[in-house]
Structure 1
Amino acid sequence: MRLSKSFTKRLASSPLKEIGSLDNIFIERWFRSLKHEDLYLKDYQNVLELQVGIKHYVQFYNQRRYHQALNYKTPNQVFYADCNTFSGQGVNVA
């Protein structure tokens, strides 16, 4: 009980703020996609396989997965289009 009171007191005096339900909505949605599109479907046998699998999923998510919220473009397409708009010059993406 003492630890709990002490911890609560330290939290109250810390610069941390309480997180609302909408503060992490985008990352929560990303984790949901990761779990349902990759982790739950594959049987990773060890941490190394998991790390490689997540790396491949992130590449897929950013480079090949079309997003309804991005008008059916990939995040990379939107990002590099914005880079071209702001810089006024083309970006060569392999």
Structure 2
Amino acid sequence: MITDNESIQILRKSFEKVNGEPGVQAEMSRKEDVAVTLFYPLEKNMPERLYKYRVWSNSDDSATLISDNEKEGYETLDKEDAEKLKSTFLF
């Protein structure tokens, strides 16, 4: 569980830079490198939303993410932000 503010800010900034293709039903040929669940508070006095992501590290040092959020789907992250994500998730 990641709870420190510095790591959360790194993750937040990295996920803001994700380039996605909503609605794409993608599958990868290998098991993800890491599976994460993010808790998003959307409205005051309402429970958080849980979004699950599967993350793969690619040979070009970018990252591929597949989300269970129908508005996100199949996504990619460039090398620079993928490295931040990987170091935060320790893979």
The TM-score normalised by the length of structure 2 is: 0.23
Whichever structure has more helix as a proportion of its residues is 1
Whichever structure has more strand as a proportion of its residues is 2
**Structure label with greater radius of gyration:** 1
Which structure's relative contact order is higher, taking Cα pairs within 8 Å and 6+ residues apart? 2
